[in-house]
Amino acid sequence: MVTPSSDPGPPIRGLTYTMATVLSVITLLLGYAVLDVADAAPGVLTLAAAPPPPPTETPGTRTLPVVPQPTPSTSVGEPLPPLAGDAQAPTPDGVTRALRGVVSLPALADSALVVRDGQTGQVLFDDNGSQLRIPASTTKILSAAAVGQAFAADATLETVVRRGASDREIVLVAGGDSLINPGKGDSDRVAGRAGLADLSDQVSTALEKAGVDAVTLAVDESYAYGPGVAPTWDSGFRPSGITGAVAMLGLSSQRATGGRVGPADPVAAVRDLFARQLESRGIDVTLAPRERPSATTPPPATPTPSPTAAPTPSPTAAPTTGQSEVLGRIVSAPVRDQLALALTDSDNALTEILARQAAFRSGGGTTFADTGAWVVSQVTALGLDTRGVVLRDASGLSRENRVRADLLTRILVLGYDGQHPVLRRALDGLPIGGLTGTLDERFTGGNSDAAGRARAKTGTLTGANALAGSVVDDNGRLLVFAGMVAGAGTTEARAALDRFVATLASCGCR
């Protein structure tokens, strides 16, 4: 009989060796894993970012990012693309061929159409461009050119409060700013840059320092005073919000835009709110009787506005010698930015307000007809042919206005020549096709070639439609255009004018 031995013998030693080997391997693997996690050795556990794939011979297809349609503030103008200095301009023959189908549209049967190269001013297309027609709101392009000659590039408007004949009398001086914020001023905006609450703070502080707790408040309206509405306007324009009343003082919250009806008396609205704000600051206020100047007598050839009218405002200017003490002062956004805003929103009252005070500063009268005649004179002074041109206002609401399409394009060319900074800034405010202002819902569908590339001023009166501005074509060349249409419905006329501009944008027209 065989008895099992208690000695494990060689098999046990082999197992021991095998376990030792396995433990060694495991130890090595764990160590490597630690190094891998610590990014000290390559491996699947590394925390370092994976290296980029090697470049391929054939790159992927480049695609444009999807960008939601912007809704830029009208207080911040979009920069117009620069002129394409080296891009070849379209030829007249090329433009004529491209537009052949467009000009045959029934809506353009009675129209005036002009196209120019935006860089050289060369006429590329002219169909009845010398005919006098109702310009509607494209009148504002002429007004922008005129206003730009009366104001310096950085000119602003002041609203001040001065001490009156006694310590207990104060005078609110209308200085041309119709965009005053009823609260605190906002330095980032055009409409609302100056704040009435800031003015109230300044005046109440000054009165408290002088120991005055009750005042009589008067208003000085001698600066560029004139009628609130034009006799050639439809009587329903102001009550329906097509325009506000024209005055040299107003609140940004009461602008007549988008059909919103503004106050019949903007100056009184500002005065009354100012009085309430002073009372909330502990000052008792009594309103003085209103003394309105006459608008029938033009100022002298070299204007000498009322000493309290601040005709050449400056944020840091000290009160003129001999004038009463200034108790408070607020300063508007630059006139050039206000003008751009007027074009973006097609703000009729704001255009009239800026043009009237520009005429006043230049020695012109302050009725609507006086201001319109002054605008024509200033366009003439630019060296442009204005024979036959008639303006009864500065905004284009009058059906008695007459302008030529070729004149509109000449002004647009001048606006881009770098020599007229206020006009140039105003043109930056022209609505952008498909994006802003009165063009926000146009240039869609089949006319989308001009969306985002066209800037233009619209013009709409019953039986008279117009569009004038600029567009960058497919070759990067800036073209300016004007179209004036009579006898067509508004919907049909707009669609045809949009087709006209979209064709210019896409044709290349060599």
Mean pLDDT by 10 residues, the chain (510 residues): 41 44 47 39 41 34 30 38 60 94 95 95 96 97 95 95 95 98 96 98 97 97 96 95 96 90 96 98 96 60 33 34 81 96 94 98 96 97 96 97 98 90 90 91 88 93 95 91 95 95 87
Shared domain for 370 and 415, answered yes or no, is: yes
Backbone angles phi, psi at 481, to 5 degrees: -150, 160
Shared domain for 349 and 491, answered yes or no, is: yes
Residue 381 lies in a domain: yes
Given this model, what pLDDT does residue 87 score?
Answer: 61
Query: Among 333, 358, 391, where does a domain finish?
Result: 333
Shared domain for 499 and 368, answered yes or no, is: yes
Residue 19 lies in a domain: no
Residue 81 lies in a domain: no
Q: Which residues contact 435 (CB under 8 A, 6 or more apart)?
A: 69, 70, 72, 451, 452
**CA atoms of 335 and 341, how far apart (whole Å):** 10
DSSP, res 195: B
Strand positions, DSSP E, 185-319: 214-220, 249-251, 284-287
The answer to whether the predicted template modeling score (pTM) of the entire model surpasses 0.85 is no
Shared domain for 143 and 230, answered yes or no, is: no
Query: Among 300, 333, 366, where does a domain finish?
Result: 333
Long-range contacts of 384-390 (CB under 8 A, 24+ apart): 384/410, 384/411, 384/414, 388/132, 389/132, 390/132
Residue 58 lies in a domain: no
User: What does each C-alpha distance from 167 to 26, 173, 277 come to in angstroms?
Assistant: 97, 17, 19
How many structural domains is the chain composed of?
A: 2
Find tokens 């925390």 and name the residue: 47
Residue 65 lies in a domain: no
**CA atoms of 155 and 121, how far apart (whole Å):** 29
Taking CA 450 as the corner, what is the angle to CA 447 and CA 453, rounded to the nearest 5 degrees? 165
Shared domain for 394 and 502, answered yes or no, is: yes
Are residues 177 and 194 in contact, defined by beta-carbon separation less than 8 angstroms?
A: yes
Given this model, what pLDDT does residue 306 score?
Answer: 32
Shared domain for 250 and 123, answered yes or no, is: no
Q: Which residues contact 99 (CB under 8 A, 6 or more apart)?
A: 113, 115, 125, 500, 503, 504
Q: Which residues contact 377 (CB under 8 A, 6 or more apart)?
A: 146, 364
Given this model, what pLDDT does residue 382 score?
Answer: 94
Given this model, what pLDDT does residue 295 score?
Answer: 63
Shared domain for 454 and 388, answered yes or no, is: yes
Residue 321 lies in a domain: yes
Given this model, what pLDDT does residue 291 score?
Answer: 84
Look up the CATH number of the domain holding residue 99.
Answer: 3.40.710.10
**CA atoms of 477 and 119, how far apart (whole Å):** 8
Shared domain for 345 and 367, answered yes or no, is: yes
Residue 110 belongs to what domain range?
92-151+339-507
Given this model, what pLDDT does residue 86 score?
Answer: 52
Residue 413 lies in a domain: yes
Centre a 10 Å sphere on the Cβ of residue 352 and count the other Cβ atoms it contains. Answer: 30
**CA atoms of 422 and 150, how far apart (whole Å):** 10
**CA atoms of 375 and 381, how far apart (whole Å):** 10
Residue 238's Cβ-count burial label (10 Å; 0-12, 13-18, 19+) is buried
Shared domain for 142 and 173, answered yes or no, is: no
Using alpha carbons, select from 312, 331, 382, 311 the residue that is nearest to residue 143: 382
Shared domain for 356 and 260, answered yes or no, is: no
Q: Retrieve residue 422's tokens.
A: 């206020």
Query: Among 307, 333, 359, where does a domain finish?
Result: 333
Residue 7 lies in a domain: no
Are residues 89 and 457 in contact, defined by beta-carbon separation less than 8 angstroms?
A: no
Shared domain for 326 and 348, answered yes or no, is: no
Give the bridge partners for 478, in sequence order: 472
Shared domain for 257 and 236, answered yes or no, is: yes
**CA atoms of 141 and 103, how far apart (whole Å):** 24
